[in-house]
Amino acid sequence: MNSLYSILRFVLLILLALPVAAQDGPGQLRGDLMVNSAFYIDDPRLGQFGTNTTQYKTQKSSAETWLFVNYNVKGWDFNVRYDLFHNSPLLNPQEAFNGQGMPFFNLSKNVSDLTVTVGSFYDQFGSGVLFRAYEDRVIGLDFAMQGIKLDYKVNNNLRVKAFSGKQKNRFASHPQVIQGINVEGGIFKKFTLTYGASAIKRTLDFTTDIQGNLAPAINAMTRENRFVPRANVYGGQLYATFGYGNFSLGIDLAHKTAEAVFDFRQKLINPSGSIAMATLNYSIGRFALSVQGKYSEYFAMRTNPYTALSPVLVGTIGFLTPVNRQNTYRLPARYSPAVQELGEMGIQVDATFSPNRKNVFNVNFSHIESPQITEETLFRELFATYQKSFGKRVKSTFGFQSVFYNQKVYEGKAPTTPNVKSMTPFVELQVNMNNRKSIRTELQYLRTDQDLGDFAFALAELTIAAKYSITISDMVNTQPREATRNPLVAPGELVHYPTVFFAYSHNQSRFTAGYIKQVEGIVCNGGVCRLEPAFSGVRFGLTTNF
């Protein structure tokens, strides 16, 4: 029914726009299409838990599709996106979700220096600490807002944005109302100064959130721990970046009023929250240095406290910037920390030195602690690479990573679970041959006495004329720990996780196909993470623009 209403609303917008389009002449139509599909091959030998989700036992296949269409004519913008999820584990890895319709649609109009948007929209205030509406299809995120947004350009150096709406939740929306305003400006002379201020308010639904959920839970608590839940939570943010020559300094401060949240023991508490971040960048010649610091405490900006307990990533209003390196290599990315909404303090230092064009050295160090759990260390990483070019055709990267990773916090495991300590050397070699061919290889080895034990990874990729590419890789649990050994795997037997992946690009379209076996683990993107089960099967993909 919600999908039908969405379609009817969009058709109504088009009908209202037809007189404008007829008067102003033909406009411009553009769009893009993304299709993913998977076929599941049950293999209980994989991972600690094997392939035991409903897709392997019942559905055997899944599909996701996003079709976005934009029509623009004389300052009028019409946008609509059709979403399809069939037997999909993308929104929740433990379920098969089915749904299709048009959950994203809007109409925008420029009136002089004012832009009015009605319907669905993405946006953010500053760094996004207080408010960030965005999507990330890789891990199944869609935090679009549905309401009205005003964007007014006061002059070339000052801008004001305001909105009121509800956050999208699959093909419906959360009942909580969210409203916000942002003022942003800058000074651009010999020095540069960009600055901004934001305010946001979230209102709980009285019947569902307060009477239905919070009140019974609070009444069940001991008398000394009870509190009166507030319908509204308010947040404010100040941010600025100062730049002069090769030097820049960014500061981001935010605070929010008391709000019902769940602590590390999954008990309701009612704290206020704050966050402070600073970033220092300096470069001179061939040397560059970046230092980032962060302190946050109880800064869980969500539609309601119960979305934090959900197994899926929903209900997040703000975006907390990670304070660690975002790794792309397969094994160095295996232990990636999720940003802790209830609090973390950390520092990251990144230094790059290139004595010449053929040699580049990079060192990155990050350390994250929890201010709530007696300053317990959550994550620590030392990451170093040396890039060497041999002429114009051969490029190489040699690297090493050392990690300390708190599984109890990041993966919610038992208190007796040991922290992971790993070391991972890796090397990458790329050779550009004649007639537009290139070969890229990777070798990685992760050494640890915790979790699932040691892993080795090897990859070879051939690219031809930027149109064709084929990738073959294998990941092997070389020394599995006895405590986590799969009973279906014989002692001394190695479990392989091979991948054969093919891609073809033509004009604006890209087609992909691959046979994949993947170990279970944490998948992160920009500090937002979720636990992915093991995968065994075939995947197809299509992306195109028109």
* pLDDT tens per residue across span 423-464: 999 999 999 987 789 999 999 999 999 988 899 999 999 999
Q: How far is CA 195 from CA 86, 182, 192, 223, in A?
A: 45, 11, 10, 45
Alpha-carbon gap, residue 306 to 312, rounded angstroms: 12
Beta strands in 176-299 (DSSP E): 177-188, 191-203, 232-244, 247-256, 261-262, 268-269, 273-284, 287-297
CB-facing half-sphere around the CA of 5: CA atoms within 13 A: 6
First to last CA, the chain: 30
Q: What is the pLDDT of residues 184-201, one digit of tens each?
A: 999 988 899 999 999 999
Q: Is it the case that residue 290 has pLDDT exceeding 60?
A: yes
Instruction: State the pTM of this model.
Output: 0.87
Q: Is it the case that residue 230 has pLDDT exceeding 70?
A: yes
User: Could you tell me if residue 537 is left (phi over 0), alpha (psi between -120 and 50 degrees) or otherwise beta?
Assistant: left
CA torsion through residues 56, 58, 61, 67, sign: negative
Q: What is the pLDDT of residues 485-533, one digit of tens each?
A: 666 677 777 888 999 999 999 999 999 999 999 887 777 666 677 777 7
The token pair at 500 is: 């054969």
Phi, psi angle pair for 456, to nearest 5°: -120, 145
Q: Is it the case that residue 375 has pLDDT exceeding 70?
A: no
**Predicted pLDDT of residue 442:** 96
Considering the chain, what percentage of its residues have pLDDT values greater than 90? 63
∠ CA 273-274-275, rounded to 5°:
140
**Predicted pLDDT of residue 533:** 77
Alpha-carbon gap, residue 5 to 16, rounded angstroms: 17
Phi, psi angle pair for 217, to nearest 5°: -65, -40
**Predicted pLDDT of residue 46:** 72
Phi, psi angle pair for 151, to nearest 5°: -130, 110
Among 19-23, 210-214, 445-449, 521-525, the range with the most confident prediction by mean pLDDT is: 445-449
Q: Is it the case that residue 181 has pLDDT exceeding 60?
A: yes
**C-beta of residue 43 within 8 angstroms of C-beta of residue 536:** yes
Q: What is the pLDDT of residues 275-287, one digit of tens each?
A: 999 999 999 999 9
Q: Is it the case that residue 169 has pLDDT exceeding 90?
A: yes
Q: Is it the case that residue 15 has pLDDT exceeding 70?
A: no
Task: Summarize the confidence of residues 291-311 as an average pLDDT.
Answer: 87
Q: Is it the case that residue 466 has pLDDT exceeding 90?
A: no
**Predicted pLDDT of residue 44:** 78
Strands 528-532 and 521-525, by their bridges, are: antiparallel
65, amino acid identity = T
Q: For residue 91, which of 136, 140, 135 has the smallest C-alpha distance?
A: 140
Phi, psi angle pair for 341, to nearest 5°: -65, -30
Q: Is it the case that residue 50 has pLDDT exceeding 80?
A: no
Q: Is it the case that residue 24 has pLDDT exceeding 80?
A: no
> Range with the lowest mean pLDDT among 229-233, 265-269, 349-353?
265-269
**Neighbouring C-beta atoms of residue 512, cutoff 10 Å:** 16
Partner residues linked to 56 by β-bridges: none
Q: Band the pLDDT of 6: cuts 50, 70, 90.
A: low
User: Rounded mean pLDDT of the chain?
Assistant: 89
Q: Which residue has the tokens 């050494």?
A: 447
Alpha-carbon gap, residue 81 to 64, rounded angstroms: 13
Q: How far is CA 237 from CA 146, 164, 194, 196, 473, in A?
A: 23, 18, 14, 8, 46
**C-beta of residue 401 within 8 angstroms of C-beta of residue 411:** no
Partner residues linked to 543 by β-bridges: 34, 510
